[in-house]
Chains A and B, each alone.
Chain A
Amino acid sequence: MDLAIYQLEGMVPSRSQRPSDTATLARGIGEANETNSSIVVWGGGTRIGVGNAPARYDIAIDLRDLSGIVEHSPADLVCTVRGGTTVAALAAELARAGQRWPVDVADPERATIGGTIASAAPSPSRLRHQHVRDWVIGCTAVLGDGTVARAGGRVVKNVTGYDLARLYSGTFGTLAVLAEVSLKLSAIDEAVRAFRVDESAYEDLRHLPLDSLVLTTGHTRGLYVRVAGLAAAVERVSRELARYHATEIASVAWDQTVHPSTDAADLTRASVPPWRERGSIAQTVARRLGHAAQRATYHAGAEGALRPEGSARTGPSSRLALER
Chain B
Amino acid sequence: MSTRTADRLVRDLESICGERNVFWREEDTLVFEYDAGFDRRPPLAVAVPKNTDEIARCVRAARDAGVAVVPRGAGTGLSGGTIACGDAVVISTARLRTIHEIDAVSRVAVVDPGVPNLEVSAAARPHGLFFAPDPASQRVSTIGGNIGTNAGGPHALRYGSMVDHVLAVEMVLPDGEVAVFGGVAPDLPGYDCVPLIVGSEGTLGIVTKAWLRLLPLPEDVRTFLAEFPDVRSGARAASAIIARGIVPAAMEMLDRTTIRAVNAAFDVHLSEDAGSMLLVEVEGLREETGSATSAIVALCEDEGARGVRVAETQAERELLWKARKLGYPALARIKPNSYIHDAVVPRSKLPDVLDSVNAIADRYGYTVANMFHIGDGNLHPLLLFDLREDTIEGVMEASAEILKVAIESGGALSGEHGIGLEKNHFMFWVYGPEDLEAMQRARSAFDPDGAMNPGKIFPGGDTCAAIPTERIKRGLAEGMWI
Interface positions of A from 110 to 162, Cβ below 8 Å from B: 120, 122, 126, 130-131, 133-134, 141, 143, 147-151, 153-162
Interface residues on A, range: 35 or more
Cβ of B290 to closest chain A Cβ, rounded Å:
8
Q: Render B450-482 as a binary contact track against A, CB cut-off 8 A, 1 for contact.
A: 000000010000000000000000000000000
| Residue A59 at the chain B interface, CB threshold 8 Å | no
| Residue A271 at the chain B interface, CB threshold 8 Å | yes
Residue pair A232, B430 in contact (C-beta under 8 Å) = no
- With contacts A120-B187, A155-B345 taken as known, whether A163 is within 8 angstroms of B199 at the C-beta atoms is yes
In the assembled complex, the Cα of A102 lies from the Cα of B228 at a distance in Å of: 34
Other-chain residue from B191, B246, B346, B427 in contact with A154 (beta carbon distance below 8 A): B346
Other-chain residue from B187, B200, B348, B435 in contact with A75 (beta carbon distance below 8 A): B348
In the assembled complex, the Cα of A99 lies from the Cα of B244 at a distance in Å of: 10
Cβ of B436 to closest chain A Cβ, rounded Å:
7
Cβ of A32 to closest chain B Cβ, rounded Å:
18
Q: Chain B residues with Cβ under 8 A from A324's Cβ?
A: 168, 180, 183-185, 188
In the assembled complex, the Cα of A141 lies from the Cα of B437 at a distance in Å of: 13
Closest B residue by C-beta to A321? B188
Interface positions of A from 63 to 110, Cβ below 8 Å from B: 73-78, 98-99
| Residue A295 at the chain B interface, CB threshold 8 Å | no
Interface positions of A from 301 to 324, Cβ below 8 Å from B: 301-303, 319-324
Residue pair A167, B196 in contact (C-beta under 8 Å) = yes
Residue pair B377, A157 in contact (C-beta under 8 Å) = yes
Q: Chain B residues with Cβ under 8 A from A155's Cβ?
A: 344-346, 376-377, 410-412, 415
Give the interface of B toward A (CB within 8 A).
105-108, 149-150, 152, 156, 160-161, 163-164, 168, 180, 183-189, 191-193, 195-196, 198-200, 213, 216, 219, 239, 242-247, 284-288, 291, 344-348, 373, 376-378, 410-419, 427, 430-432, 434-439, 441-443, 457
Give the interface of A toward B (CB within 8 A).
51, 73-78, 98-99, 120, 122, 126, 130-131, 133-134, 141, 143, 147-151, 153-164, 166-167, 169-171, 175-176, 186-188, 206-207, 209, 229-230, 232-233, 236-237, 269, 271-276, 301-303, 319-324
Q: Chain A residues with Cβ under 8 A from B150's Cβ?
A: 159, 163
In the assembled complex, the Cα of A170 lies from the Cα of B196 at a distance in Å of: 13
- With contacts A76-B347, A155-B346, A233-B288 taken as known, whether A302 is within 8 angstroms of B186 at the C-beta atoms is yes
Give 17 new A-B contacts, CB below 8 A, not counting A230-B288, A321-B188.
A74-B243, A75-B239, A77-B247, A130-B160, A155-B344, A159-B415, A163-B163, A163-B195, A167-B191, A175-B191, A187-B245, A207-B216, A271-B185, A272-B185, A275-B107, A302-B187, A324-B180
Other-chain residue from A51, A163, A207, A323 in contact with B183 (beta carbon distance below 8 A): A323
In the assembled complex, the Cα of A137 lies from the Cα of B435 at a distance in Å of: 15
Q: Chain A residues with Cβ under 8 A from B443's Cβ?
A: 162
A-B contact pairs, 18 of them (CB 8 A): A98-B245, A134-B164, A143-B438, A159-B419, A160-B412, A161-B419, A164-B442, A166-B195, A167-B195, A167-B442, A170-B187, A230-B287, A271-B188, A273-B185, A274-B184, A276-B106, A303-B187, A323-B183
In the assembled complex, the Cα of A320 lies from the Cα of B287 at a distance in Å of: 41
Residue pair B185, A323 in contact (C-beta under 8 Å) = yes
In the assembled complex, the Cα of A99 lies from the Cα of B246 at a distance in Å of: 11
Residue pair A141, B438 in contact (C-beta under 8 Å) = yes
Closest B residue by C-beta to A236? B287
Residue pair B430, A153 in contact (C-beta under 8 Å) = yes
Q: Chain A residues with Cβ under 8 A from B107's Cβ?
A: 274-275
Residue pair A78, B106 in contact (C-beta under 8 Å) = no
In the assembled complex, the Cα of A232 lies from the Cα of B187 at a distance in Å of: 34
Q: Chain B residues with Cβ under 8 A from A206's Cβ?
A: 105
Q: Chain B residues with Cβ under 8 A from A237's Cβ?
A: 285
Q: Chain A residues with Cβ under 8 A from B184's Cβ?
A: 273-274, 323-324
Other-chain residue from A75, A157, A166 in contact with B242 (beta carbon distance below 8 A): A75
In the assembled complex, the Cα of A160 lies from the Cα of B459 at a distance in Å of: 12
- With contacts A158-B412, A230-B291 taken as known, whether A147 is within 8 angstroms of B152 at the C-beta atoms is no
Cβ of B209 to closest chain A Cβ, rounded Å:
12
